[in-house]
Each structure stands twice: as C-alpha cells, then as structure tokens.
Amino acid sequence: MAVDVCRGIFRFTRIPAGYIAVMTRGHLSPEASVTLADRLQGFFGEHRADLVRFATLQLRDPAMAEDAVQETLIAVLQGHAEFANRSTVKTWVFSILKRKIIDALRVRQREVPISQLGGSDEEREGFDTLFDQRGHWATEHRPHRWADPDDSLEQQQFWRVFELCLDHLPERTSRVFMMREFLELDTDEICQELAITTSNCWVILHRARMSLRLCLEETWFTH
C-alpha cells in the first residue's frame, strides 16, 4: 500500500499535500504538510535521476537501485519528525539513501569481484607524465595553490564543474571513491564488499584524487 502510494507520487506533477498528511499519519499540521509537500516535490523533481543513478552505480542492479530509492521516499515521508531538525531536504534524503544502500550492500551476498569488471583503460596509471624521471613533479605540472577554495564552494558554477569532474572518473574508480567519500565507508568495508585488497583500494582512491584534483586545476582553478 505504502509503496503504491509512493510509486503514484512519482507520476504526479505535484505531490498532493494530502498524501503527506496520510503518510505522516496526521502528525503534521495542514500548513506543515503543504510546506513539506512543496519541498519534497522540488527535491524529487530535481534529484530523482541523481538518486537512481547513484544507487545504480553503487548497487549495480537497476531493480535494487529503484527499490532503494522507493524505500528512501517512504522513509522520507515517514520521517517527518526527524525532518523538522534538518536544514535541507537534500541532506536528509541523501542520508536516508545512504543508509538504504549500505543496508542493501550488507545484506546481499558478496558480488562479482570488482577486478572482473573490465575497466582495463583505467588500469593505466595515466599520471606518470605529471612526474619527471626521478618521480618529482614535472615543472609544468607542479600543483598550484588554489585561490580561495572556500569561496568556490559557494558558487553554483563550481558545483557544475565538480560534477563533471566526478562524471569523468572511470566507473570502477568512481564507485570506490563514492563508497569512501559519499557513503563514508572505511576501506575495510569497501574491500570486503568489492573483494579487493586493501592496498588495491588505496591505489584506486589515490587515482580518483589524482584525477579529480587535476580536473579541477585544469578547468576551475586555472591560473
């Protein structure tokens, strides 16, 4: 029943405040229901594709990813009390999706080792040209001091560039990086889920950071 209601919501162009009232079992005032409906409407309208894409990347199973997102919406609608303490819908929804994905990862059997997932193109380190023969930064590639990085975090344009840089990570690298930096799993958990060695995990994370910093330096923090 709850799921049907939620599936229905995805097809509405507006989330009816009435649904919020039903799902929150009348714990919210009518005005609060309308406010919450508006905020969720805005969020899911804007980010549903992101949620599904992220869940799919992590779970590698479109059906499981859909389930995780559906369950997230259900939890969102039921979690009105928690929401009252949250400043943004995004924080809240993504934190719930994170938990759903982590649960799903932990419940299911260990999957195909990540090492069997193609990705040979990313095996090439690709960063050797940044260093000279002795392994020191080549002069033209020496990292610069980024001007006012905190200021960048306030700019919408920065976040668009940052997403593009994230999108450029090879799939396997991206998955490990997101497990570490978005799901905030520790490397032991990541290794276990992906059946890779810890040192392999560190190498992949290093590669992700090398790639992201280079991308930002070349496209955003240009000098």
Binding of residue 144 to other proteins (CB under 8 A): yes
Binding of residue 129 to other proteins (CB under 8 A): no
Which one of 95, 115, 197, 219 is in contact with other proteins (CB under 8 A)? 95
Distance CA 158, CA 105 (A): 31
Query: To the nearest whole angstrom, how small is the minimum distance from the Cβ of residue 180 to other proteins?
Result: 7
Nearest to 174, CA basis, from 204, 146, 219 = 204
Distance CA 43, CA 144 (A): 37
Binding of residue 216 to other proteins (CB under 8 A): yes
Distance CA 51, CA 108 (A): 20
Binding of residue 114 to other proteins (CB under 8 A): no
Binding of residue 173 to other proteins (CB under 8 A): no
Binding of residue 145 to other proteins (CB under 8 A): yes
Query: What is the phi/psi pair of residue 131, to 5°?
Result: -115, 155
Contacts of 29 (CB under 8 A, 6+ apart): none
Number of residues counted as binding other proteins (CB under 8 A): 37
In eight-state DSSP terms, residue 99 is H
Binding of residue 135 to other proteins (CB under 8 A): yes
Listing DSSP states for 148-192 in one string gives -HHHHHT-HHHHHHHHHHHHTS-HHHHHHHHHHHTS---HHHHHH
Binding of residue 189 to other proteins (CB under 8 A): no
Stretch that binds other proteins, among 13-21, 28-36, 73-81, 94-102 (CB under 8 A): 94-102
Binding of residue 148 to other proteins (CB under 8 A): no
Binding of residue 175 to other proteins (CB under 8 A): no
Residues that bind other proteins (CB under 8 A): 88, 90-92, 94-95, 98, 131, 134-137, 142-146, 149, 153, 159, 162, 180-182, 186-187, 201-203, 205-206, 209-210, 212-213, 216-217
